[in-house]
Homo-oligomer: A and B are copies of this chain.
């Protein structure tokens, strides 16, 4: 099987780092708690003016490069590969790609190793990619094609509304995907 795995908030803790930096820089400014999130894009449920601040945080030099790991993600990638499956990391760069694009490569090289550069795909349209499953936290994934992969939801508060799809975390993936992998 070909297993596609998203990067932000699945392997790298994008939102966690946003929250950390926000609270450090603006300790008195409201930010919607992770467990109360209902939207994939954080700025959509934040007060007016937050979008620019969030963008300043997530496009800053070193932001992507220094993201901590989502616990268990890197181990899961390696285990899925060891089961004999072909794993690709499939990630959409920010439209402000200047720091994001190279730092995604750096992150993968540091956390998975140099040979995984061969297995990194940067695309804004994941329906262009072939695979059997895509593990992704985005609630709805659209593009120019109907996907060929099954979208397995990586569990987050903001995608809780998606029913009738397999749903995993790096704690539950083995039992949930047992019959597939």
Residues of A within 8 A of B (CB): 2, 86, 88, 93, 95, 97-99, 101-102, 105-106, 114, 117-125, 127-131, 144-145, 148
Closest to A88 in B: B128
Q: Residues of B contacting A101 with CB < 8 Å?
A: 101-102, 105, 122
A91 CB, nearest partner CB in chain B, Å: 10
Contact B117 A95 (CB under 8 A): yes
Q: Residues of B contacting A127 with CB < 8 Å?
A: 130
Contact B124 A118 (CB under 8 A): yes
Residue from A88, A119, A123 having most chain B Cβ neighbours under 10 A: A123
Closest to A121 in B: B123
Could you show 30 A-B contacts with beta carbons less than 8 Å apart? A2-B144, A2-B145, A86-B144, A88-B125, A88-B128, A95-B114, A97-B102, A97-B105, A97-B117, A98-B105, A99-B102, A101-B101, A101-B102, A101-B105, A102-B102, A117-B124, A118-B125, A120-B122, A120-B124, A121-B123, A121-B125, A121-B128, A122-B122, A122-B123, A127-B130, A128-B129, A128-B130, A129-B130, A130-B130, A130-B145
A35 CB, nearest partner CB in chain B, Å: 32
* Total copies of this chain within the assembly: 2
Q: Residues of B contacting A130 with CB < 8 Å?
A: 127-130, 145, 148
Closest to A129 in B: B128
Q: Residues of B contacting A86 with CB < 8 Å?
A: 144
